[in-house]
Amino acid sequence: MGKGLSTLRRSSLWQKLKWPTLGKGTERSQALWAYTFLSLSVLGLFIFTILPIIAAFGLSFVNWTLLSPPKWAGLSNFQRLLNDKYFWNALKNTFYYVIGVMPGIAISLLLAVILNQKLRFTTLYRTLYYLPTITMWTAIALVWRWLYSPQYGLVNWALGLIGIHGPAWLSDPHWAMPAQIFTSWWKGAGYNMVILLAGLQGIPQIYYEAASIDGANWWQRFRHVTLPLLTPTIYFVVVMTFIGSFGVFAQIYIMTEGGPGQATTTIIYYLYNNAFKYFEIGYADVLAIAFFVIVFTFTVIQTQLQKRWVHYT
């Protein structure tokens, strides 16, 4: 009892009640504790994120090979970027890849719509579709490199069964990128499917009932109920897929090493080579800035465009 009373006396609530002037003190003590708790996180964020962001902008103005001290380069790295045909090629390849990955969202949507029906084994299907999503890119890229093997791979063997003579895939400059894109469809389908499925389950059943009473068939229900109400989720999936695929690296590194020739060299792969193979720190950093500017611009454009096609209820 006595202990309880003294605890009560010491508590901030009691002090607030009894001595209003001390309220300031407890507020101050709360603030001090808050700063103490945050200090580790803020320090880490500053050292490993904020400082590097600032440095990323600064480094784009220097020439540095890590062997000699950095030299001021002004805007020469940016000039070099604009005249670098390998950069433009990498940019073209990255857009090719990103645009190619987008239709995969339609596959995810189809699967999500089917799994949203009252069918048997939906949990099993969901698990199987989701499996590629959780796996390590390095291992998966090795598996696909083997699947795409021109003579001994499973893909060309399967095509051969239906009378198609498959191309050399990863070693053919025209087919290497489509092969990369298909692998990304395979790996990403389950992730987008689960998000879209959650979106579908959020659509109130009453809309479908109303549409059915009005005599709408399944396509009309999909077109005029499901699709409009799902646009916020689709928008989210499109933006996330865009940002994610623009930074594609691991699968390129393992499956095609940017080749054949430069056919699958994407921005981040080109950045990696410049920074960690040629040690052109300044120039590689300009590529990072370009990457940021492009991703940022497209995200802004997409947030503007969404006003025209995304319906919020």
Contacting another protein (CB under 8 A), which of 61, 96, 186, 207? 186
Select from 59, 109, 170, 238 the one that contacts another protein (CB under 8 A).
Answer: 59
Least distance from another protein to the Cβ atom of residue 243, Å? 7
Number of residues that bind another protein (CB under 8 A): 93
Should residue 157 be labelled a site residue for another protein when binding is judged by CB under 8 A?
A: yes
227 binds another protein (CB under 8 A): no
The helix/strand/coil state of 136 is coil
Alpha carbon distance 228, 216 (integer Å): 15
For another protein, the closer of residues 186 and 222 by Cβ is 186
Q: Coil, strand, or helix at residue 130?
A: helix
- Cα 72 to Cα 54, 55, 68, 76, 176, distances in angstroms: 16, 14, 12, 9, 39
Binding flag, residue 217, another protein (CB under 8 A) = no
Shortest Å distance, C-beta 115 to another protein: 8
Among 31, 75, 106, 301, binds another protein (CB under 8 A): 31
CB 176 within 8 A of CB 259: yes
Choose, by CB under 8 A, the member of 47, 106, 164, 210 that binds another protein.
47
Among 129, 175, 235, 270, interactor with another protein by CB under 8 A:
129
How distant is the alpha carbon of residue 54 from its chain centre? Answer: 23
DSSP label of 20: G
| Closest distance to another protein from the beta carbon of 83 (Å) | 21
CB-side exposure of 51: number of CA atoms within 13 Å?
A: 7
Task: Give the separation between CA 44 and CA 51, rounded to whole angstroms.
Answer: 10
Q: Give me the amino acid identity at 72.
A: W
137 contacts another protein (rule: CB under 8 A): yes
What mask of x and - would describe binding to another protein in positions 228 to 267, judged by CB under 8 A? --------x---x--xx--x-xx--xx-------------
Structure tokens at 15: 């002090």
R_g of the chain computed on alpha carbons: 27
Closest separation in Å from C-beta 302 to another protein: 13
71 pairs with which residues across the strands? Answer: 63
Among 33, 86, 278, 309, binds another protein (CB under 8 A): 33
Any contact of residue 27 with another protein (CB under 8 A)? yes
